[in-house]
Amino acid sequence: MRDLMNNITPVTIIPPGTTTNDNTAVVSSIVDSLGYGSVTFVLLTGSLADADATFSVLVEHGDAANLSDAEAVPDDLLIGTEALAGFTYADDNKARKVGYAGGKRYQRVTITPAGNASAANLGAVAILGHPHNAPTANPPV
């Protein structure tokens, strides 16, 4: 078995249990990937109550710390696809992932519901990998 723990830093970007009761987009906090060579976003679902709901995923990146220059990440800079990271009402208690292979320092994820009229519990973590300095701190800072 090989060591992964000392080579990643998990960052909560959508707190567990974040709930949306309508079609309002859930926007993650901004990830600063300085000091790391890779980012993978892990999207988590809890209970998804509405039988018609779908949830699309958008990954954005930019150079400004507040992402005032945010733009959608081109497909060729994603590892996996935003479509595969999305989910439907039938995906209770699931995890999805999408990786970022671009060169911008800052990233964020937006989960946008459609057809959602009931509680949808969501969460997300950014996994920062390939650190310039290892081992990474535990607990993460």
What count of other Cβ atoms lies within 10 Å of the Cβ of residue 109? 26
DSSP 22: S
- Helix or strand holding residue 15 (H, E): strand 8-20
pLDDT in tens, 40-59: 999 999 999 888 899 999 99
* pLDDT-above-70 percentage for the chain: 100
Q: What is the mean pLDDT of the chain?
A: 96
By C-alpha distance, which of 100, 104, 102 is closest to 57? 100
pLDDT, residue 141, reads 80
pLDDT, residue 68, reads 99
pLDDT, residue 76, reads 98
**Gap between the Cα atoms of 108 and 86, Å rounded:** 15
Q: Which CATH class is domain 5-131?
A: mainly beta
pLDDT in tens, 21-35: 899 999 999 999 999
- Tokens representing 8 are 């990643």
By C-alpha distance, which of 86, 94, 100 is closest to 128? 100
Q: Name which residue leads in pLDDT, 2 or 59.
A: 59
